[in-house]
Structure 1
Amino acid sequence: MTDDAPPRPPVHALLADGTTVCIRPARRSDHDQVQGLYEEMSPENLRLRFFSPSRHSAGLAADRACGTPRPGYRALLAETSGQLIGIAEYDTGGTGDSAEISLAVADGLHHRGVGTLLVEHLVSAARAEGITSFTADALSDNHEVLRLFADLGLRTARRFEGPEVRCTIALDPSDSYLTAVEERGRAADVASLRPLLRPASVAVVGAGRKPGSVGRAILHQIRTGGYTGRLFAVNPGAHAILGVPCYPSVGALPVTPDLVVVAVPAHEVPDVAEECGKAGAGALLVVSAHLTADHADALLAACRTHGMRLVGPNCLGLSNTDPGVRLNATFAADAPRPGTAGVAVQSGGVGIALLDGLSRLGIGVSTFASLGDKYDVSGNDLLQWWESDGRTDLALLHLESFGNPRAFSRTARRVTRRMPVLTVDAGRTDAGRRAAASHTAAAATRTMTRTALFTQAGITATRSCGELLEAAALLHSQPLPAGPRVLIVTNAGGAGVLAADACAEAGLALPAPTPELVDDLLAVLPDGAAVGNPVDATAAVFEDQLAAAVDRITRYGGIDAVLVALVPTAVAVATGDDLVRALTRAQTPRTKPVVAVRLEQTLPVELLPTEGDGTVPAYAEPQAAARALAHAAHRAAWLARPVGTVPDLDGVDTERARALVDSYLDAHADGGWLEPRVCADLMDCYGIRQLPWAWAETEDDAVRAADRLRGADGRVVMKGHWPGLLHKSAQHAVHLDLRGEHQVRAAFRDLETRFCGLLTGVVIQPLGPRGTELFAGVVQDEVFGPLVLFGLGGTATEVLADHAARLAPLTDHDVHDLITAPRCAPLLFGAQGGGPVDLGGLEQLLLRLSRMASDLPQLAEADFNPVLATPDAVTVLDARIRLVPRRPQDPYLRRLR
């Protein structure tokens, strides 16, 4: 424990085998438990821990861990079901940025990840307190602890000193460490989900004897769905329900259930959960709704205390179509068709729609989970399950909220390289959320934040369930296009025009075919065909002719995808030709995607079987086909791009920046906007270039500053300042183009008169050169973390709303995307003939802004507007920064919500 930092709250996390443990600080009341932990250890383990143990070793260790708090010392305990199973400590000795660590794990609990998990939490706590390295002494034959240190993912050096080894561990937050933590978390998460998604036994609590209850409906679905495990019902008033043996309580079951389905009134849920926990159940599926806050707290407490994973409450249920499981624990009307799509939703209605759509398309479902109010199991958990289940090749998500978006983003970036991950972007509106405290806050909408998350993680974000199914059909059935170039083929000119408009609106390219391709196509198409883009094959085209044309196009190197728009004609009917069969009779897989548009089709999207066991997607509207192709092209481009890296930056003084922030918040307990001099000092810590300026509090000071800062043309700018002033132009607190002493004095008097009692000083700057005015800023989102925004600046930045955003920390690819995404991007690359601006300087500004936001969680907003971009430099002309008291949080620390 330390006396200079508030205690860390208890958190729950998963061991390697999926067991839930509580990680919490040691307390004085834990003394006897800690002493008992050591006293129950074997002599060999005591030797490895204390080197030369004595009969007093256990008591002294307990005294240290549970004694009077002291600076630089912290002890964390791991416990499960109230039993202490491990302890880890660090001690700086009261000085320095290095700490010595030690740990001990109860006998019989080795090799389950207790020590590793404790050390990870120690690392997080130590880094938050400025500790940069750990040291540890171990006996050279203590292979377990030496392997633990080596496998952490942190840089570890060893020095052998006789029978002992001195280990030094650097606590730098490298990507290798995050990857190692992530991999351990993934394995533990998957292990914890097995009782939920692959249960060997299931009990349903709340199945009534009469039809009409949700519990009875789920029991019926499980029984008739061919579940391969043992099934029980829990009802004190019956011996059997629907032919399923019934018992009066969970504790009376003949076996401990892996999964318990809870479908009882809300007020009964906490007691049932506690009973399940005491009986040793592995997981709960709570479909009950309308839990109060107290009910919710009690439910989650029971799950955490007894180590049960939880889906729900207020959910539709879950399903696993694996032939070895065949579990359909939902109350949807129809059982999902077995297949390869993993589905996780928060809305039961959306879940039913997706299950029906996937079944109709023939894609089917591998695993389905309706997350409901999402107290525990989340989309992140399901992504990790699908990544390792060996059955899922397509992931579909409907998430209305995110518990830990940064952890979700890291998981999704990994999973999307193995399979498409699609989502319905729910909750896009942000009515009532725009608190226009600054340009940055006004621009940072919830939609923009979610879009940044999905874009950076490679997730295909759609705007409706229909669009999601359209994209899923193509991604499931066709190869990815190498790019956005589409060639349209049609048997009706009007349908081709509609398809061309849809492709252009979706951002796809429609290149003209080369003369070689034109000749190739004219050789197989009927007389009168027009080979452009679209290719009008005319109503006289036969099946064989269309098949030959599509075959030639797919082998042509200048096209990435083919869209065939067809309408039924009397010509085809008379000849017995089936033009659709021209697309489905290919017996070998095509290397480029081919999609059909059938304007007479009644269903929005269908998958048409081919002769070679494949499928071709057919859409009722050209807009749907174009959207699906655009999503596929975006995915292909994301996969083709190397994984981005966060560049190293020179000239960054993080320690000085943190000291400035701490000093300001010590003097301003509630935080606030920095005055110009402190703001400039903080920017200087990150090497962010500013236009020269001076602070003046009197008229004479302003004149002297203007004389010193005048540019070659002799003109300066004067900006008024007082605490809380955000929009100087709107307040008419700016004087431009001031020449000579008289104008400077007149401007100062004007500000002093109009803002009497407010004005605390003025900022004097030389008049900036001509250039492009841009905007850059950061907003610290409470859930998503820091969001970096960029776009067109100046006084009309909010009106024009030409902004893009990415979540920090920015990689080199993220910076490129930020610069090229706004509509104003062509101006930066010299579109008007003036040559490009300093793009390298612009990248550096955004990277340094990202680093500042990542280093300083207290940075609530940073607003740089305008930022002047010229061919020679990128310079911040005006800056505002707001700080708030906020403790740093480790978004990658392994913990359950």
Structure 2
Amino acid sequence: MTETVNASQQVHALLTDGSTVRIRPVLPGDHERVLRLYDGMSTENLRLRFFTANRNSARQSADRLCAPATPGRRALLAESGDELVGVAEYDTLPGTGTEAEVGLAVSDRWHHRGAGTLLLEHLVSLARADGIIQFCAEALAENHAMLKVFADLGLQTTRHFDGPEVHCTVRLAEDETYLSAVDLRGRTADVASLRPLLRPRSVAVIGPGRHPGSVGRAVLRKLRHGGFTGRLFAVHPHAPVVLGTPTYPNVQALPLTPDLAVLAVRASAVPLAAEECGKRGVRGLLVVSSGLDARQAGALRSACRWYGMRLVGPNCLGIANTDRSVGLDATFAADPPEPGSAGVAVQSGGVGIALLGGLSRLGIGVSTFVSLGDKYDVSGNDLLQWWECDDRTDLALLHLESFGNPRTFSRTARRVTRRMPVLTVDAGRTDAGRRAAASHTAAAATPTMTRQALFTQAGITATRSIAELLETAALLHAQPLPGGRRIAVVSNAGGTGVLAADACAEAGLTVPPLPSALTAALLTELPHGAVADNPIDTTAAVSEDQLRACLSVLSAAEEVDAVLVSLVPTAVAAATGDRLPRAVTCLPRDLACPIVAVLPDQEASVRLLPAESGSIPAYADPQAAAHALAHAVSRAEWLSRDAGRIPPLEGIHSARAAGIAAAYLSAHPEGGWLEPRDGAALLDCYGIPRLPWGWAENEDEAVREAERLSGPDGPVVLKAYVPGMIHKTEQHAVRLDLRGDAQIRAAHRDFVTRFHGRLAGVLVQPLAEGGLELLAGVVQDDVFGPLVLFGLGGTATEVLADHAARLAPLTDQDVHDLISAPRCAPLLLGHRGATPVDVGCLEQLLLRLSRLAGDLPELAEADFNPVIAGPDGVAVADVRIRLTPSRTYDAYLRRLR
């Protein structure tokens, strides 16, 4: 073949059995390969594909598939190594422009592995980008396999039977049903591909080394003595035996093909070792080697993709599966992971060691552990899907420094967090992240805000440190979720109770006064002098039995959602022999209310106390306990609310908007800021309300537009339009409350003088009649996609920095959260008797802005500031929109990194 395929045109993806295929456009040079594909098909399958067993039809199909590309026709192939797996094509039907006929053929050897469905998913993505809205296909009624492929896609499909033939029509509109079907297929394929890594039946360590300091030798020792139940080999060119393990000179000499190969060789030797593993048929590769340069890294990736190997690493600590039927500890951590129920995925080996040690000390233990290292392939998203299908895991801990596909990660995490807590460390919060930007929106959209939006929408518990991660994991593992934010604080020393109450309040919890009936019930159980307000001071004279009775009453009270008990050692308890912590651990098993302890005298920041009710988390300081409780409350609130939906919107003209963007970028290939008229046209395409306005290129036109908009006496606003200007107010490019011809002409002449040679025109608007000034905007993030921001607007928006953000597409729940999250939210609802704004109109504006951002990947920034919100509606007073050239990217298309 003389043709080449651009790297952006080819992707690798997983089939249902976990094998890897490459998908790319069909080239003219593929003609002989396509013919061989058809020649290898059985007569029956050939008949089902072409309605005849005559192989001339196959040749005609090959000619069509491999013809030079023409508009309205697409053809894709899937290949594994040198083998052609299948082909798929569509041709736009004449006279339609939006409907295409689709065809599909898969090699007999690759049937029932999801190759046809995967090809169709990629063909559907291309068709949508080309404006195709419907596929049609003809099939024989007896071709049950093909009919099932169309039915199982998840797209709306109709069938029409005509004798022995079936006419299928497939609507290509992407909806939740389709995305869920893609998710399920992706999860099945992902889990299958990870089995050689996490449940291998045989492992080969390549490069174990003879010296005690060798990383490979350490991994081999851990495997040999860690209870691995499969067959274990070592590969070393000279040593006949390493640590008592059978050793072979190279991978080809091994007596069987290992499921998993651990590469612990020098960086320069990694590509060749990976190539040898691929040729032998290894399915999983763990590379603990570090220091690969760009060429070596590229060669490693290429070998893994060509031979269909999943890769963990390089530069990683290793992997482990504590299931006794596997016993895999392929790490070089000092201590073996304790068996348990937490799934752990980290990029940093040091963080991994800290988490393994902390989970072991707490007694939670680990189900599976993966150190992702430089994360060339296997990612946190893969591990979430593994744990979702693993009945041993009920807690997921992540430490990720980067996200390959945040939108896919978010969909997966939203699903997994419904089943188990997913915790992470929000690293890098001190990075100001403020770009040199030409809009308020871009300035506000820091990387921290983007990452936090992802965590919030996905229901991920984001902590500030490794210690807080473990402290929160202890509570979520050991106790039920709180029913609300009302905390009862109990202490045997008044000062510590006050500190605990302060910590709860600072963490966003409440410590409310208790009702009189509950107070009276508590006082009957407590010693004389006790105070039964909240916090509750039992006094140092409290006995073990009295404290237990007090906690029992509180844990059963409807007015209490959680109990925090802070206990300090006293001479009184020592003299009486009372062990107050035992009052906490001996509470009944059937408690629905979570209880946490604060024991300032303990050395560990958190530990789990064995208790009749399971275990009680005990913290060394009240702040740790309060933060853990706050995270538990947030999780309970997230689980209790509706998942949200993307509501349908009327009056959307996506095609017209795409035409505006295409026309602008055709005239400005490098991109830039839209002129006001084009910006207003884009808003109109999405039904986004804006203040009336006029455009004037001289002072006579300014006077006419002012009279048209506000009558002869105004008042009006004039805004100078100077291409490239960032903030109009700071440049004195706005004149407010102008009345009559004289003021308007004077303001226009001032603009002409001030911006000599740069003034492109003037916007004329009626003066807004009061209202709250808000900011709404979008920033297109290269990795995370469109981020929608909302908050307080006007000239002080950056000073006050009162903004919230969510990733598009927005659900109705996301919009509710966006509006209620900023500190200014009470102003929207009528703070202190003020008239509330029309929140429904505000929600519609944000939903339509989200749709605009989703439809136009060319939209780099959109800045609506101010948005004037009042009781009768909302309107955009000023808009700035920047477009950049952008290739269409389907975030939900199945593909490997």
Q: Return the TM-score normalized by structure 1.
A: 0.98
Deviation readout 1:799-858 (Å, 9 max, x if unpaired): 110000000011011001100110111111111321211111110111110010011110
1:518 aligned partner? 519
* Counterpart check, 1:702 vs 2:702: yes
* Counterpart check, 1:292 vs 2:293: yes
* Farther-moved stretch of structure 1 (706-715 vs 95-104): 706-715
Output the CA distance in 1 between the equivalents of 2:658 and 2:67: 31
Q: Is the 8 A contact 2:721 2:760 kept in 1?
A: yes
- Give the C-alpha shift of residue 103 in structure 1: 0.4
2:735 aligned partner? 735
Deviation readout 1:14-42 (Å, 9 max, x if unpaired): 00000000111101111000011001111
Deviation readout 1:336-389 (Å, 9 max, x if unpaired): 110000000000000000000000000000000000000000000000001111
Output the CA distance in 2 between the equivalents of 1:770 and 1:722: 27
- Give the C-alpha shift of residue 712 in structure 1: 9.6
Output the CA distance in 2 between the equivalents of 1:830 and 1:58: 71
Q: Is the 8 A contact 2:657 2:682 kept in 1?
A: yes
2:48 partner letter:
L
* Farther-moved stretch of structure 1 (710-719 vs 239-248): 710-719
- Give the C-alpha shift of residue 668 in structure 1: 1.0
C-alpha change, 1:866 and 1:288, in structure 2 (3 Å) is same
1:37 aligned partner? 37
2:87 aligned partner? 87
- Give the C-alpha shift of residue 759 in structure 1: 0.2
SS in 2 for 1:208: coil
2:169 aligned partner? 168
SS in 1 for 2:108: coil
Q: Which runs of 5+ in 1 are unaligned?
A: none
* Counterpart check, 1:114 vs 2:107: no
Output the CA distance in 2 between the equivalents of 1:735 and 1:116: 60
Q: Is the 8 A contact 1:563 1:594 kept in 2?
A: yes
Output the CA distance in 2 between the equivalents of 1:714 and 1:747: 14
1:405 aligned partner? 406
Deviation readout 1:410-445 (Å, 9 max, x if unpaired): 000000000000001122343565122210110000
Q: Is the 8 A contact 1:711 1:766 kept in 2?
A: no
1:348 partner letter:
G
* Counterpart check, 1:548 vs 2:518: no
1:764 aligned partner? 764
* Counterpart check, 1:657 vs 2:630: no
Alignment of 1:383-782 (within 5 A): 383-431=384-432, 433-612=434-613, 614-710=614-710, 714-782=714-782
1:364 partner letter:
G
Alignment of 1:284-323 (within 5 A): 284-323=285-324
Identity of aligned residues (%): 67
Output the CA distance in 2 between the equivalents of 1:469 and 1:8: 41
* Farther-moved stretch of structure 1 (887-896 vs 431-440): 431-440
SS in 1 for 2:209: coil
C-alpha change, 1:346 and 1:480, in structure 2 (3 Å) is same
SS in 1 for 2:580: coil
Q: Is the 8 A contact 1:489 1:496 kept in 2?
A: yes
Output the CA distance in 2 between the equivalents of 1:399 and 1:314: 15
- Give the C-alpha shift of residue 713 in structure 1: 6.7
* Counterpart check, 1:184 vs 2:173: no
1:280 aligned partner? 281
1:49 aligned partner? 49
Q: Is the 8 A contact 1:7 1:25 kept in 2?
A: no
Q: Is the 8 A contact 1:429 1:446 kept in 2?
A: no
Deviation readout 1:55-92 (Å, 9 max, x if unpaired): 32222111111112211111110111210010111010
Output the CA distance in 2 between the equivalents of 1:421 and 1:357: 17
Q: Return the TM-score normalized by structure 2.
A: 0.98
Output the CA distance in 2 between the equivalents of 1:299 and 1:563: 52
Deviation readout 1:579-609 (Å, 9 max, x if unpaired): 1000101241311100000111111000000
- Give the C-alpha shift of residue 131 in structure 1: 0.4
Deviation readout 1:771-801 (Å, 9 max, x if unpaired): 1110000000000000000000001101110
Q: Is the 8 A contact 2:44 2:53 kept in 1?
A: no
2:789 aligned partner? 789
- Give the C-alpha shift of residue 896 in structure 1: 0.3
C-alpha change, 1:735 and 1:582, in structure 2 (3 Å) is same
- Give the C-alpha shift of residue 7 in structure 1: 9.5
2:840 aligned partner? 840
Output the CA distance in 1 between the equivalents of 2:6 and 2:874: 42
- Give the C-alpha shift of residue 714 in structure 1: 2.2
1:335 aligned partner? 336
SS in 1 for 2:534: coil
2:369 aligned partner? 368
Output the CA distance in 2 between the equivalents of 1:618 and 1:647: 45
C-alpha change, 1:32 and 1:870, in structure 2 (3 Å) is same
Output the CA distance in 2 between the equivalents of 1:262 and 1:433: 41
1:756 partner letter:
H
Alignment of 1:63-74 (within 5 A): 63-74=63-74
Following TM superposition, the consecutive aligned residue runs of length 4 or more in structure 1 with deviations greater than 3 angstroms are 5-8, 429-433
1:660 partner letter:
I
SS in 1 for 2:850: helix
C-alpha change, 1:133 and 1:8, in structure 2 (3 Å) is farther
CA RMSD of aligned residues (A): 1.3
2:151 aligned partner? 150
SS in 1 for 2:684: helix
Output the CA distance in 2 between the equivalents of 1:42 and 1:808: 47
Deviation readout 1:488-546 (Å, 9 max, x if unpaired): 01000000010011000000011111111011101111111101110000000000111
Deviation readout 1:254-282 (Å, 9 max, x if unpaired): 11000001011111100000000001001
1:749 partner letter:
R
SS in 2 for 1:633: helix
1:654 partner letter:
S
Q: Is the 8 A contact 1:841 1:873 kept in 2?
A: yes
Output the CA distance in 2 between the equivalents of 1:109 and 1:862: 47
Q: Is the 8 A contact 2:319 2:370 kept in 1?
A: yes
Output the CA distance in 2 between the equivalents of 1:55 and 1:800: 73
2:628 partner letter:
A
Deviation readout 1:429-470 (Å, 9 max, x if unpaired): 435651222101100000000000000000000010000000
Output the CA distance in 1 between the equivalents of 2:103 and 2:421: 44
2:714 partner letter:
G
* Farther-moved stretch of structure 1 (583-592 vs 366-375): 583-592
2:296 partner letter:
H
Output the CA distance in 1 between the equivalents of 2:726 and 2:703: 25
C-alpha change, 1:588 and 1:783, in structure 2 (3 Å) is same
Deviation readout 1:743-766 (Å, 9 max, x if unpaired): 100000000011011001000001
Q: Is the 8 A contact 1:345 1:351 kept in 2?
A: yes
- Give the C-alpha shift of residue 305 in structure 1: 0.5
Output the CA distance in 2 between the equivalents of 1:572 and 1:712: 86
Q: Is the 8 A contact 1:711 1:767 kept in 2?
A: no
* Farther-moved stretch of structure 1 (466-475 vs 725-734): 725-734
2:896 aligned partner? 896
Output the CA distance in 1 between the equivalents of 2:167 and 2:726: 55
- Give the C-alpha shift of residue 93 in structure 1: 3.8
SS in 1 for 2:730: coil
* Counterpart check, 1:854 vs 2:863: no
Q: Is the 8 A contact 1:485 1:559 kept in 2?
A: yes
* Counterpart check, 1:129 vs 2:139: no
Q: Which runs of 5+ in 2 are unaligned?
A: none
